[in-house]
Chains A and B, each alone.
Chain A
């Protein structure tokens, strides 16, 4: 503990240096803006500034990018509450009760609870990240290819299990993502797979064009032709104070959202999106008055908003301790760290203590900055949305193109974004979730590599995945999740068989 406090002291001395503080602030402001704008999520924001961060030192670069990530979580709630437009995907659940509160004249209270919940969740989860990442990193030194393979498979199954829609569709989408990840040079043999003469595809399909296409561009395609957005209601400062009852109702949802969000964040997956869905479902189930949900229940704002912020910190645990990206944003941040010659993984904390602890401390600072930014200045950010949508979406489109182009300076990436935008548009029309595609793409190269390395280690014996206890436990958990998710389907089949049995019995009786 003393050592942790000492390390944190070092971290704060890094985070409070004027240079790093400035980048944390800039990151938070840009993050809030991209969170407010629909269609341009934290990933597009990070991609835009990724090339600009190459000129900075490693700590400033990571602090800037992380600021955008959690700033967007705060910003996304603003438009959800005031306009029923989720600025980014994790805020979808906030729309339901947040906007109902706005209609009842409690917009200020909803915004305040969302900001306070986000602040509490952000701060508590950073403490958990700080305490959990170093021991996990030393534990992860025991991980070999079979353990990594089991972990990645577990992540995909957990994502499919927790996704809102059909498990079959989620698994199909994850498989599609894994297949997209097969494009490029095979790392074991050097074969060019499915690249059709395009040199740019040698390194595989980039995460940024796919994610911006599937999330950002498809959002623009779906909304551009719709009737115009509702008018923005600007809350007055004195309306920002929630009542005593609202505080009391929000306390437990914030606590539960924080814990849930962090735990979901650790599992590889699009953590911040799922965590808000799970938190909303939990709050509705635990509530004594579930009928209030959907009609302006403050718990429906407090829980999901806390969960998505907490998940952001949770997602940094596997990234910093294992070097495993838990979603598209940590994947891009790992790429940014690699540009600076730092490879995230179990040795990062020991080898780069200033970076790790400076990053942790900057998250404490960032949360305070965001609380200050989001409460009194909410009216200023909302003004951005007064730009008519026919002007706003072309601007967002340009920023998407610019962000995707800037990462590699390649128009092929813009082409991939376009194709993925069209794919995402059709998939969303047909009720498919796009998050598993992106996660599949991210995990595919690591998963294939660890699978084939494991088989090389065991001279082709698949027993290696069962003989090693850590891998076995993770595979068993994955299997349990799979069984749990297909249980309703199997039960239905049993039910159908029962009915069939009854029918044949009746037939017998009839005979």
Chain B
């Protein structure tokens, strides 16, 4: 199984999903396209590209040869981003940034406490001061007043 074969198959599935989801909107006609016409047309194109990829990919690297050594870091960073989505407007910008930096620097990177605290506080409050106070970019303040 090559990487291209796997990605081609995923593209085919995605194209079929788009065609399925487009059934809620009028397709229109060939001469007078409706809202679903272009999405379906594109999904059909994607389907063709996916099928071509599946059948012309014998020389691509093997799926098992792809290295994922950094996946733990990647998963931690993505988790931090998901946390930012839910926390930024509930906890406020500074507290959210403080917690994300604390998690990434102390837990993931295992740096010292002093380094973590100084860096996290400096960046959370420094960036807030620069963007919110000086440049007047609106950022959420959170329920605790910071």
Binding site for B on A (CB under 8 A): 48-49, 51-52, 55, 168-169, 171-172, 175-176, 178-179, 182, 186, 188-189, 191, 193-194, 217, 220-226, 390-391, 393-395, 397-399, 401-402, 405-406, 409, 411-412, 414-415, 417-418, 421-422, 425, 429-432, 448, 451-452, 455-456, 459-461, 489
Contact of B78 among A171, A390, A405, A422 (CB under 8 A): A422
Besides A394-B101, A422-B78, 6 other A-B contacts (C-beta < 8 A): A172-B49, A175-B49, A176-B11, A188-B35, A421-B78, A430-B4
Question: Which of B42, B45, B71, B73 has the most chain A CB atoms inside 10 A of its CB?
Answer: B42
Instruction: Provide the residues of chain B in CB contact with A398, threshold 8 Å.
Output: 97, 100-101, 123, 127
Contact (Cβ within 8 A) A451 B38:
yes
Q: Could you tell me which residues of chain B, from 48 to 99, have a CB within 8 Å of some CB in chain A?
A: 49-50, 52-53, 56, 60-61, 66, 68-74, 77-78, 80-82, 84-86, 88-89, 93, 97
> B29 contacts which chain A residues (CB < 8 A)?
460
Contact between B74 and A225, CB atoms less than 8 A apart:
yes
What A residues does B78 contact at CB under 8 A? 221, 418, 421-422
Question: Is B56 touching A220 in the complex (CB atoms < 8 A)?
Answer: no
Contacts of A186 in B (CB 8 A): 25, 35
| CB atoms of B46 and A175 under 8 A apart | yes
A224 and B74 contact, CB distance less than 8 A: yes
How many B residues touch A, CB cutoff 8 Å?
67
**In the bound complex, how far is the Cα of B71 from the Cα of A425, in angstroms?**
10
Return chain B residues, CB-CB under 8 Å to A224. Answer: 70, 73-74, 77
Query: What's the Cα separation between A51 and B135 when bound, in Å?
Result: 8
Task: Check A455–B88 contact: CB distance below 8 A.
Answer: no
CB-defined contacts of B82 to chain A, threshold 8 Å: 415, 418
Contact with A along B96-112 (1 / 0, CB 8 A): 01001100110001010
Q: Given A51-B138, A179-B18, A460-B32, answer yes or no on A431-B39 (Cβ-Cβ < 8 Å).
A: no
Closest to A222 in B: B70
Q: Give Cα A48 to B134, complex, Å.
A: 13
28 A-B Cβ contacts within 8 A?
Answer: A52-B131, A52-B136, A179-B39, A182-B42, A191-B35, A193-B25, A194-B21, A217-B77, A221-B70, A221-B73, A224-B73, A224-B74, A225-B70, A225-B73, A391-B119, A393-B104, A394-B100, A394-B109, A395-B123, A397-B80, A397-B81, A406-B137, A411-B86, A430-B66, A431-B3, A431-B60, A455-B32, A459-B31
Cβ–Cβ contact B31 & A217, under 8 A: no
Q: Determine how close the nearest CB of chain A comes to the CB of B27; give it in whole angstroms.
A: 12
Partner pick for B49 among A168, A394, A452, A459, CB 8 A cutoff: A168
Binary flags per residue of B16-34, CB closer than 8 Å to A gives 1, else 0? 0010010001100111111
A224 to B115, CA, bound (A): 18
Nearest opposing residue in chain A for B104, CB measure: A394
Chain A residues contacting B31 (CB-CB under 8 Å) are 455, 459-461
